[in-house]
């Protein structure tokens, strides 16, 4: 079945690294995504990774994919207060066009 799970909350100190984790159940995932949602705003696409890749780096963001364990992580280096938001993991499956979202991880960055 299609299911994406995330932990609900993460709190880090400003300047530290944040690691947000996600697990998914469908092994036929095509792409895996990270979206950011700030209060009262829509979802901002941060990055995505094709399912045959292990890692993708984009400035302060590093995505790691362990396909065997169906585990995806997003590492934010040098976390800033502006990074405080809800982060959603999502997958698209095969030729399906829909995104399956996790429940979101609320990241709180303490000064």
Partner 1 sequence: DSGVTQTPKHLITATGQRVTLRCSPRSGDLSVYWYQQSLDQGLQFLIQYYNGEERAKGNILERFSAQQFPDLHSELNLSSLELGDSALYFCASSQGQGANEQFFGPGTRLTVL
Asked if residues 92 and 2 have their Cβ atoms less than 8 Å apart, the reply is no
96 binds partner 1 (CB under 8 A): yes
Please work out the total of residues on this chain that contact partner 1, with binding judged by CB under 8 A: 22
How would you classify the pairing of strands 105-110 and 9-13?
parallel
Gap between the Cα atoms of 68 and 46, Å rounded: 24
Q: How far apart are CB 78 and partner 1 at their closest, in Å?
A: 25
Q: How far apart are CB 103 and partner 1 at their closest, in Å?
A: 5
Residue 69 backbone phi and psi in degrees, to 5: -90, 0
24-83: contacts with partner 1 (CB under 8 A): 30-31, 35, 41-45, 48
Gap between the Cα atoms of 110 and 79, Å rounded: 10
Binding segment (CB under 8 A) for partner 1, from list 16-24, 51-59, 74-82, 101-109: 101-109
66 or 96: whose CB is closer to partner 1? Answer: 96
């Amino acid at each position: 079945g299609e299911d994406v799970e995330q932990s609900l909350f993460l709190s880090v100190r400003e300047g530290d690294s944040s690691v947000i984790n996600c697990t998914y159940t469908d092994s036929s995932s095509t792409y895996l995504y990270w979206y950011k949602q700030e209060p009262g705003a829509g979802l901002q696409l941060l990055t995505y990774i094709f399912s045959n890749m292990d890692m993708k780096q984009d400035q302060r963001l590093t995505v790691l994919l362990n396909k065997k364990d169906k585990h995806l992580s997003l590492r934010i280096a040098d976390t800033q207060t502006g990074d405080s938001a809800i982060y959603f993991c999502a997958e698209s499956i095969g030729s399906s066009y829909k995104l399956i979202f996790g429940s979101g991880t609320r990241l709180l960055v303490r000064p």
